[in-house]
Structure 1
Amino acid sequence: MIETTSGWLRRCVPTRDQLERNRFVRPFAGRVLRSDLWRFSRRSVPRGVALGLFVGVLIPFAHSIVAAFCAVFVRANVPVAIATTFASNPATWMLLYPAAYEIGKTLFHLERASGLTPISATMEHTQTDHLLQNLTGAGLDTAVGLLVLSIVLSSAGYAVSALVWRGIVARRRCARLAQARIAEPAG
């Protein structure tokens, strides 16, 4: 039987009450459980989608916890941020990791061909290479590719979710206006 998206979300994403009872969240409950972070609005939902995709692609494990805590700082919708981290799963890793490796390899190949300061030298000097490798658990080529993919996918997710949100609101408004025209007395 095919499960609906809302049923899947209800089953997988924790509710506010479940998080309130969680002993790990309890010290941060005042910040994480603010009502504006759980309200669906035209600004918080696209932020949640972008944050969830960014964290889900870049961080392989415990990404839903990281997304929930990061949502506090960017005022994103917490359930949406947690739910969109599940876009990165073992099935999508088979596509993401080879693509990330190719992107990283291409970027490092292009830096050797150009006369500019190499990205890898800058990353080594600032220790960003170690940070990315530790964060992603992958080699430098793949880690840089994952960073690029997470930026691109989160930007696209933000744009698409903002457009979808706008379309839903416009459709509801048109339906309300049509109902109001029908309900008006003639004459």
Structure 2
Amino acid sequence: MASAAPGLWQRGAAWCRRNLPTRESMERSRLLRPVAHRVLAPELWRFTRRSVPRGVALGMVAGFLFPVAQIAIAALFALPFRANVSVAALTTFITNPFTTPLLWLLAYKIGSWLLRTDAPIVAQPIADAATGWLQWATGCLHWLWDKGPAFGVGLLVLTVAAAILGFVLSAFGWRLWIARKWRTRHL
């Protein structure tokens, strides 16, 4: 097991290097063209002990709250907070087609627990096919109207918790990485 961990770590680092957005790829983006002069500032692309945790936290926020254009939004969020743009963009991949349904279910469960909406609902009989799609569509909208607040509150709580946890873990990981570099330098 101990020998498999370095290989897994190296594969993960290689995946990050392959998928990490570069300044050139961001330069070519049509979405970012209006603010390219700000996004491409060199200080936003340096890996520092302050910019990396900020980038992780902002990437979590963009990844959880925005279902589309997450990378562009994370890059825009990085501007006022002086966060690392590439880390913010890469962190948005925490939400993907495999993890999003689980995260949304977790968000709904958290929201329904906080809002105490777990009370049993009296079930209505299934509508006949003859009544049509309009009744089905209004039933879906009614269900969404009932469950939406719990999902929204849960998503906000989950986003804040993930951003704080991501910030703390990346700051701690950065500290461990630097300590390891110092130890190997002194040996």
Q: Does 1:58 align with 2:56?
A: no
CA RMSD of aligned residues (A): 2.0
1:1-34: CA deviation from partner (whole Å, max 9, x where unpaired):
x882343234333311122233332221111001
- Out of 43, 52, 58, the residue aligned to residue 50 of structure 2 is 43
Other-structure match for 2:139 = none
The one-letter code of the counterpart of 2:168 is A
Q: Does 1:105 align with 2:112?
A: yes
Name the count of aligned residue pairs. 151
Any stretches of 5+ residues in structure 1 without a counterpart?
111-132, 179-187
Normalization by structure 2: what TM-score? 0.74
- 2 CA distance for matches of 1:34 and 1:63? 20
Other-structure match for 1:77 = 84
Other-structure match for 1:148 = 157
Other-structure match for 1:19 = 26
Other-structure match for 1:177 = 186
- Mapping of 1:81-92 within 5 angstroms? 81-92=88-99
Partner SS for 2:94: coil
Normalization by structure 1: what TM-score? 0.74
Partner SS for 2:52: helix
Any stretches of 5+ residues in structure 2 without a counterpart?
1-7, 118-143
Cα deviation, residue 174, structure 1: 1.3
Among all aligned residue pairs of Structure 1 and Structure 2, give the percentage whose two residues are the same amino acid: 47
Partner SS for 1:60: coil
- 1 CA distance for matches of 2:155 and 2:168? 20
Cα deviation, residue 47, structure 1: 0.5
